[in-house]
Amino acid sequence: MNIIEADYIYIQGEYINRKAIAFDKTIKAIDTKENLLALYPDATIHTTPPNSVIYPGFINTHVHIEFSSNKTTLTYGSFIKWLSSVMTNASKTSSCDNSAMENACNEMLKSGITGFGAISSYGVDLNVCINTPQRVVYFNEIVGSNEGMIDINYESFEYRTKLSQKYASDNFIPAVSIHSAYSTHKTLINKAISYAKENKLLLTAHLLESPGEREWLTNASGDFYEFYKNFIGVEKPANTLDEFLKAFDDTPTHFIHCVQATKKELDMLKVKGHSIAHCPRSNRMLGCGRLSIEDVKAPFSVATDGLSSNWSLNIFDELRAALMMHYHIPLHELSVQLINSVTSIPAKIFGLNCGIIAPQKLSDFCIITLPDTPVSLEEIALWTILHTKEATKVYIGGKQYV
C-alpha cells in the first residue's frame, strides 16, 4: 500500500486541503494521513513539495503520434495549404521513427498526460503505443474517397485493427477512426461503423474543421473544390454533411474540432450522445477559426492534436492557449472548465475508470507544484494553468513514472 499527501487534492471540482490518498493500483481511501496510517501502518509514504496539488492524470483525447517528426515540413495558416503539404510530403510524414514517437509520448507524460487517444493512420505507431506507460485508446484510421480503392483501403483498416485487437488490455484499447466526411467513401464509413459496433469499439472522426470543408460538403465549391480537382481528380464531395452525420446517428462518436458547426449542429451532437475534442492551437495553426465552446452542450475535451498541427504535446501549453483564445468567458470559470476538460470529461468520453480522485478509481495522478501559496482555493485552477510547465510527479495505475 502507498500513501501520498499534498497541500491540495482536486476532488469533485474542489481543492481539498491537507488530505492524503491510500492507493495501490486503485485508490483505496482518502482521509488525513494519520487516519490512513492507522488503517495501513506499513504503507510507503510519498511526499510532495509545499503548494502541490494532486490532480487525476490528464487525458489527451486526440493526438497523431505518427506525425511527430515533421516540425518544419508542413505549411500552416490555411487548412487546404496544410492538407496539400501533407499529401506532397506523404513519404516523410508516414515514416516517423520510433524515437520521435517515444519522445512524443514522453513529452505528454512529463506534462502529466496519463492517457491519450492516438489516431493511427498507418499502424507504424503500434509498438510505441503498446509499450508506452500511458493508457492508450488506439484509433485505427480508415480513409480514402476513391471508389476504385475501397477494397484496398478497407483491407488495410481491417488488418491494422485486427492486429491491434490482439494487444487489447487495460492500458491499450483498440478503437476506430473515420478520418472525415470529405476524405472517406460512404461504403468505407458504413463498413467501419459496423465493425466498431460489432466489436464494441470507440469511434472518432474529424468533423467540420475548416470553413472550406463546410463549403465543399454543403455547396461542392470553395478551396476544397480546387484541391480535389487537382490532387484527386474529382469535382464532387464524397458525402454530403447531412448523410455523413446520419451515419453516426445511433453510435456515440468523439468528433474532432467541429469549429465550423452551427449552433443547431452542436445541439444535435449533444442530443445524439456525441462528444467533441477541442484543439485550440491546431485550429489556429490551420486557419480554421475558434470553436464557440460557450455554444457547445455536448461533453468536450481539450486536446493537442498531433505535431502535424502544433508545436508541442504539453497539455499545459494547450490549456494556456485555450485560456487566451476564449477571452469572452470569465477567467476563473474557464479555468475550472478547462481542468475538467482534461480529467473527468475525457475519462467519461472514453469510458475509463479514472479522471476523478475517488475510492475504486485507477491510481492515475498528476502532481503539480505552484510557485507559492495560493491566496484562495478559487484561484488554484487558474494558477495551475498559468504556472505549470511540467508535472512534479506522475503515477499511472499506482506506479510512479515521473
Catalytic residues: 209
- Taking the least distance from each CB to ligand MCF, the nearer of 180 and 335 is 180
Side chain identity, residue 301: S
CB of 314 to ligand MCF, least distance (A): 17
With residue 178 as reference, give the H or E element that holds it: strand 172-178
- Taking the least distance from each CB to ligand MCF, the nearer of 64 and 320 is 64
Residue 217 partner contact from ligand MCF, Fe ion, none using kind-dependent CB cut-offs of 5 to 8 Å: none
Which of the ranges 151-159, 195-203, 303-311, 339-347 carries the binding residues for ligand MCF, by CB under 6 A? 303-311
Residue 121 partner contact from ligand MCF, Fe ion, none using kind-dependent CB cut-offs of 5 to 8 Å: ligand MCF
CB of 23 to Fe ion, least distance (A): 34
Secondary structure (3-state) at 402: coil
- Taking the least distance from each CB to Fe ion, the nearer of 305 and 318 is 305
Residue count, binding to Fe ion (CB under 5 A): 1
Outline where 272-379 has alpha helix (H).
Answer: 280-285, 315-325, 331-341, 344-350
Please pick, from the candidates 56, 306, 355, 374, the single residue that binds ligand MCF as defined by CB under 6 A: 306
Would you tell me how many other CB atoms lie within 10 Å of the CB of residue 262?
A: 11
Please pick, from the candidates 179, 254, 320, 326, the single residue that binds ligand MCF as defined by CB under 6 A: 179
Query: Exposed/middle/buried for 333, CB within 10 Å: 0-12, 13-18, 19+?
Result: exposed
Residue with the CB atom nearest Fe ion in the bound state: 305
Outline where 26-117 has alpha helix (H).
Answer: 33-39, 79-88, 90-93, 98-110
Strands 399-400 and 393-396: antiparallel
Tell me: does residue 181 bind ligand MCF (CB under 6 A): no
Outline where 199-314 has alpha helix (H).
Answer: 211-219, 223-227, 241-247, 263-271, 280-285
CB of 256 to ligand MCF, least distance (A): 6
Residue count, binding to ligand MCF (CB under 6 A): 16
CB of 139 to ligand MCF, least distance (A): 9
String of DSSP letters for 4-34: EEEEEEEETTEEEEEEEEEESSBEEEEE-HH
Which of the ranges 12-20, 34-42, 227-235, 297-305 carries the binding residues for Fe ion, by CB under 5 A? 297-305
Q: In the window 39-68, what residues touch ligand MCF (CB under 6 A)?
A: 64, 67
Strands 52-56 and 203-207: unpaired
Q: How many whole angstroms separate alpha carbon 32 and alpha carbon 48? A: 15
Q: In the window 321-350, what residues touch Fe ion (CB under 5 A)?
A: none
Outline where DSSP puts E strands in 126-171.
135-142
- Taking the least distance from each CB to ligand MCF, the nearer of 132 and 283 is 283
Q: In the window 255-294, what residues touch ligand MCF (CB under 6 A)?
A: 282
Q: In the window 302-321, what residues touch Fe ion (CB under 5 A)?
A: 305
Would you tell me how many other CB atoms lie within 10 Å of the CB of residue 339?
A: 24
- Taking the least distance from each CB to ligand MCF, the nearer of 7 and 305 is 305
Over the window 131 to 170, marking each residue x when it contacts ligand MCF by CB under 6 A and - when it does not, the resulting string is: ----------x-x---------------------------
With residue 195 as reference, give the H or E element that holds it: helix 186-198
CB of 191 to ligand MCF, least distance (A): 18
Q: What angle do CA 160, 174, 322 make, to 5 degrees?
A: 110
What angle, 0 to 180 degrees and rounded to 10, lies between the N-to-C axes of helices 380-387 and 331-341? Answer: 70
Q: In the window 112-131, what residues touch ligand MCF (CB under 6 A)?
A: 119, 121
CB of 303 to Fe ion, least distance (A): 8
Q: Are 377 and 51 in contact (CB under 8 A)?
A: no
Secondary structure (3-state) at 227: helix
Q: How many whole angstroms separate alpha carbon 402 and alpha carbon 392? A: 7
- Taking the least distance from each CB to ligand MCF, the nearer of 60 and 282 is 282
- Taking the least distance from each CB to ligand MCF, the nearer of 88 and 171 is 88
* Chain residues in the site for Fe ion (CB under 5 A): 305
* Chain residues in the site for ligand MCF (CB under 6 A): 64, 67, 86, 119, 121, 141, 143, 179, 183, 206, 209, 282, 305-306, 308-309
